[in-house]
Structure 1
Amino acid sequence: MITSDKKIAIMDNTLREGEQTAGVAFSKEEKIDIALKLDQAGVDYIEAGFPAVSEQEFNIIKKVNSLGIKAKIMALARTSKADVDLVYEAGCHGVTFFIPTSEILLKAKSNMSGIEPQKLIESSIEAVDYAKRRNLYVAFGAEDSTRTDFEFILRMYKAVIDAGADIVAVVDTVSRLTPVDTYNMVKEMKERLGGAPISTHLHNDFGMATANTVSAVMAGADQIQTTINGLGERAGSPSLQECVMAVKELTEYDFNHINTHIFKELSNMIIKYSGVNFSPLMPIVGENAFSHESGLHASAVLNDPKSYEPFSPDLVGTQTKFIIGKHTGKNIVKHILEKTFHIDEISQEMLQSVVKEVKEKGSSARLNYDDVFKIYSDIKRRNKNV
């Protein structure tokens, strides 16, 4: 595969969007740990929170800014000078503006019902101009932009870019995009805005957040927004781990600046701090992501891991696991006894006896490597007593 030299930036939203997951609230210490680990992972931007929420939130964001990390710290703001002032006073590198633009959101928000579209553009220009005069990097997103008239979004984005916005985003607030839609929207937006930098803020209501993010990258997006483990409102956001590995493995683009080797560690940290447990089937870092039970599959993996693994588990800080059960074959039993318990000489008769008993017990209970060794030891002892 021919690779592209273009660097795709990552803005991780775990500390803000991720904390909006139902039932999740990170402590100050946890937010600091997460920020430090994200920096170790090499993400370009960290959205640390929404300072207008509370004095406590403001102080936490200010603390994150004092850590001296390489990632650039961003904070969320409405298009108001007061919100910009809080972002600036917290010491952030930049501001992430949001303003609702779809008819349904404008009607649903009582303070914005009936507002004229031009007023939205004017308030956006004023906010961007004010932020730039504060020397802030400006990321601008029209909330629910995928349910807003596209021509209006283009007009708004051209206006804020002219006012100094550094990047504008496709914001798919309630997941109205398919991968094809995402590709077409990003590509057309990129072309009609004269190549201006494009970001994505997507959601996972239909399980397509990762696929849509990959499509956006392929269409020319310059930045993607993610969360660890895909935390976020409702069904969540694009997963940092999934997006990075999918882009690396499936497209011409890469994330060479991202330290993927700590992805499993990062995932475990978020599970611990959020209290949100994920399915073992979660891609990339889930418990089953590199697990094998079927005898034929497991044997093939022993011969060549690429046969049934999309990439080396070492790349994301995990390892191949063989699950012991009714589908386990003799090659895996032999491998476990030899490599884990250092049993060098196993007769075919003994091996067949162990496999038979493993399959029988594995039909009603999940076994582990120690169980295999115990079965082996019990059979060996019984044979001696015959």
Structure 2
Amino acid sequence: MNSEKIEIFDTTLRDGEQVPGCKLNTEQKLIIAEKLDELGVDIIEAGFPVSSPGDFHAVSEISKLVKDAKVCGLTRANKNDIDVAAEALKYAKRPRIHTGIGTSDSHIKFKFNSTRETIIERATEAVKYAKTFVEDVEFYAEDAGRTDNEYLARVCEAAIKAGATVLNIPDTTGYCLPEEYGAKIKYLKENVKGIEKAILSCHCHNDLGLATANSVVGAINGARQIECTINGLGERAGNTALEEVVMVFRQHKDLNLQTNINSKMLNEMSQLVSDLMGMPVQPNKAIVGANAFAHSSGIHQDGVIKNRETYEIIDPADVGVNASSIILTARSGRSALAYRFKNIGFDVTKNELDYLYQEFLKIADLKKEVVNDDLNLIMEAFARKVV
């Protein structure tokens, strides 16, 4: 069976930049945008043009720079937002306007003081108006995760009729469980008239730590676009992490879903975004964290040394990491110590290792990690003892 393509919509420069302290200047945004294009993302959400002159300028400059990806600008469902976005995107080779409105009863009542029917009218008008500027219009139903499925289907049907080419189904608050979100996508796939004319898109937040799971289940149930960020950056607890969904599809070939992402650039991309945004990546972050391919337990180290696949389902090279790391701690065993000694040029016998291991443990009990300098000192002391 041929794999189906999942389009990767990167919103690092829009939703990712909404993290407090992560403000980027235009030059930094251009550096990231160029790398995202090289990485192979299908759509770059470059910003929210109406929000500030700086954001407008950045979206305009990114539109001029990007060669392959579609460039997208976010708007609310009003004509001024759409006018400004269209102007910012006028240099883009493949422009997309992303417009929408809240659809949950909570948003309709408290945010808009409106009615369900009025929201459908506003959604229709916004899509129709955006369509006068660009062919590619994405509609977002904000807080779709908490929107009644039957009503959400009506909104989506109206958006498609108005000309939407993509339907974004955001779990804006990160509330949905995977089975709920998957069922929502399945319901829309089966109940929205004209759904074959549009792509369903997942935009999941990580408030309960379920963003990646929800996005993957959404794709399994018929979504063909995932909206995500490098390192999972985004509002509050963040968004779906690009590197995670890409590697889920790569490792689970039985899903028959694939992306155009060059996975060997993932580690480099993660570090670039972390450096420019000043947001360190947590060490235990999946795929790109410093500890993602590091082993400190003796049992794990022994297994990895014998065969990497005993404890690693991903080859580090596939995500741009040079090699697995064997970290020496008080939990490390003899095989790990011998491995590290060999790496720095010392082949030791079993009898020598028995002695060296006891000396190693003396240091390991005093330090979080035993490094190569420590090993050299142990070996120098051992050499003097032998002499």
Q: Which TM-score tier does this pair reach, normalised by the shorter chain?
A: over 0.9
- State whether structure 2 residue 93 is matched by structure 1 residue 90: no
1:225-257 deviation per Cα after TM superposition (whole angstroms, max 9, x unaligned): 000000001100000011111122135234352
In the alignment, what sits opposite 1:329?
A: 333
Q: Distance in 2 between matches of 1:219 and 1:256?
A: 16
The structure-2 alpha-carbon separation of the partners of 1:25 and 1:328, relative to structure 1 and needing over 3 Å to count, comes to same
Partner Cα distance (2:259, 2:170) in 1: 26
Comparing 126-135 and 197-206, the one that deviates more? 126-135
> Which piece of structure 1 moves more, 135-144 or 363-372?
363-372
SS in 1 for 2:366: coil
1:162 aligns with 2:164: no
Q: What are the residue-to-residue correspondences of 1:88-167 with 2, within 5 Å?
A: 88-91=86-89, 92=92, 93-109=95-111, 112-113=112-113, 115-167=114-166
Structure 2 SS opposite 1:257: coil
Q: Give the 5 Å matches for 1:257-336.
A: 257-318=260-321, 319-336=323-340
Q: Name the residue aligned to 1:69.
A: 67
Residue 4 of structure 1 deviates from its aligned partner by 4.1
* Secondary structure of residue in 2 paired with 1:66: helix
For 1:96, give the aligned amino acid. H
In structure 2, distance between residues paired with 1:312 and 1:177 = 32
Which letter does structure 2 place at the counterpart of 1:162? Answer: K
Amino acid at match of 1:368: V
User: 1:320-342 CA deviation, whole Å, 9 max, x = no partner?
Assistant: 0001111222222222222x222
- Percentage of pairs with the same residue: 36
Deviation at 1:82, TM superposition (A): 1.4
What is the aligned counterpart of 1:351 among 341, 350, 353? 353
**Partner residue in 1 for 2:211:** 209
* Structure 2 CA distance for aligned equivalents of residues 233 and 87 of structure 1: 22
In structure 2, distance between residues paired with 1:355 and 1:302: 17
For the Cα contact (< 8 Å) 1:197–1:222, is it kept in 2? Answer: yes
Q: TM-score, normalised by structure 2?
A: 0.93
Is the 1:328–1:355 contact (alpha carbons within 8 Å) kept by the matching residues of 2?
Answer: no
Q: 1:80 aligns with which of 78, 81, 85?
A: 78
Equivalent-residue separation in structure 2 for 1:278 and 1:87 (angstroms): 32
Q: Deviations over 1:131-162 (max 9, x none)?
A: 11212411111111122222211111101101
2:28 and 2:102 map into 1 onto residues whose CA distance is: 30
User: Which 10-residue stretch deviates more, 164-173 or 268-277?
Assistant: 268-277
Residue 139 of structure 1 aligns to a residue in which SS?
Answer: strand
Between the aligned partners of 1:360 and 1:263, the Cα distance in structure 2 is 39
2:241 is aligned with what amino acid?
S
Q: Which moved more, 1:143-152 or 1:222-231?
A: 143-152
Which residue number corresponds to residue 245 of structure 1?
A: 247
* SS of corresponding position for 2:255: coil
- Work out whether residues 292 and 323 of structure 1, in 8 Å CA contact, stay in contact via their aligned partners in 2: yes
Determine the C-alpha separation between the residues in 2 that align with 1:255 and 1:373.
Answer: 47
Distance 1:159 1:256, change over 3 A: closer
Separation of aligned partners in 1, 2:378 and 2:97: 61
- CA RMSD in angstroms comes to 1.5
Letter of the aligned partner of 1:243 in structure 2?
A: V
Give the match for residue 42 of structure 1.
40
Q: Which runs of 5+ in 2 are unaligned?
A: none
Alpha-carbon distance in structure 1 between the residues aligned to 2:257 and 2:149:
30
Q: Deviations over 1:18-52 (max 9, x none)?
A: 01112211121111111111111101000000001
CA distance in 1, matches of 2:259, 2:42: 12
Whether the 8 Å CA contact 1:325–1:361 is kept in 2: the answer is: no
Alignment-derived partner of residue 341 in structure 1 = 344
Q: Contact 2:34/2:66 (CA < 8 Å) preserved in 1? A: no
Residues 119-139 of structure 1: per-residue CA shift (max 9 Å, x gap): 211121121112112124111
Q: Size of the alignment, in residue pairs?
A: 377
CA contact (8 A) 2:108 2:116 kept: no
Residues 1:167 and 1:58: Cα distance change in structure 2 (over 3 Å): same
Counterpart amino acid of 2:204?
Answer: L
Unaligned regions of 5+ residues in structure 1, if any?
Answer: none
Residue 197 of structure 1 pairs with residue 199 of structure 2: yes
